[in-house]
Amino acid sequence: MELAPAVHSEWLKIRTMRSLLACLAAVPVVTVVFSAVAASDGEDMGVDPLLSAFFGVNFGQIAAIAFGATAYAQEFRGGALRLTLAAVPRRGRWFAAKAVAVAVPALVVGLLTGAASLAAGTAALGTRADVLGTGERLRGVVGCGLYLMLMALFAAGVTAVLRSGVATLSLLIPFLLIVSFVVGDVSGSLADFLPDRAGQIALHLAWDGTLGPWTGLAVTAAWAATALLAGAWRIGRRDA
């Protein structure tokens, strides 16, 4: 099977699984709700207004990584991978098709989430959002979409390595919600190179760290690419 039909086949799997569709639907809902709450909470003019408008990404990304992890984890249940490889014998081609099938909807949902979060966040900010120019708003929306897609792919790669969605979520969720913040407080600028903190630099109006908005996203992309390459290597060397 060629790449395009393989991608179509993987997309059919995704859109027929309620758990995956629920993960995608949860991304904008969770992000927008938490962004609106954060933006409306308090009147401190020193708070970064762009970050406030996209604060919910910290929680919406959990649904994004759940989507990426679950999309790959389903292949390791009940011999599903053997059936998949019977249709697409080239494991590398199947793995790439799966990655594309994860990346495209994650990016589309991520961009929609960014636009909705910006609208809700700036409405809650009121006049505090006046400092945000068109460039900063556009960067926030695009950065949000790319970040959520990359985190979904990062989770997908980790799942392929561990061959377990539960193990992936058990590792990544505590890391994102707890460890990353603790490490960031202790290690200073070195924490800028963690996958979540690097990618979220694009959601700040100003940043004094080592990386910039786009170089930060490039670091997150490098983490995702490394995880996917490791996953592809493991898939190619393990029995289905």
Q: What contacts 27, CB < 8 A, 6 or more positions away?
A: 60, 63, 64, 67, 109, 110, 113, 148
What is the token pair recorded at 99? Answer: 């990655």
Dump pLDDT digits (tens) for 183-198.
655 555 777 899 999 9
DSSP 8-state class, residue 209: S
User: What pLDDT was estimated at residue 38?
Assistant: 87
Percent of the chain with pLDDT over 90: 57
Question: Which among 138, 209, 172 has a CA at the least distance from the CA of 67?
Answer: 172
What is the distance between the alpha carbons of residues 185 and 124, in angstroms, rounded to a whole number? 29
Question: Domain segments of the chain: what residues?
Answer: 3-230
What is the distance between the alpha carbons of residues 21 and 53, in angstroms, rounded to a whole number? 25
DSSP 8-state class, residue 179: I
Question: Which among 146, 168, 153, 141 has a CA at the least distance from the CA of 216?
Answer: 146
What is the distance between the alpha carbons of residues 64 and 66, in angstroms, rounded to a whole number? 5
What is the mean pLDDT of the segment spanning 58-72? 95
What is the distance between the alpha carbons of residues 51 and 203, in angstroms, rounded to a whole number? 5
Dump pLDDT digits (tens) for 217-231.
999 999 999 999 999
Phi and psi angles of residue 208, each rounded to the nearest 5 degrees, phi first:
-100, 5
Write the CA distances from 207 to 48, 63, 197, 202, 212, integer angstroms.
Answer: 10, 26, 12, 9, 7
pTM above 0.85, yes or no: yes
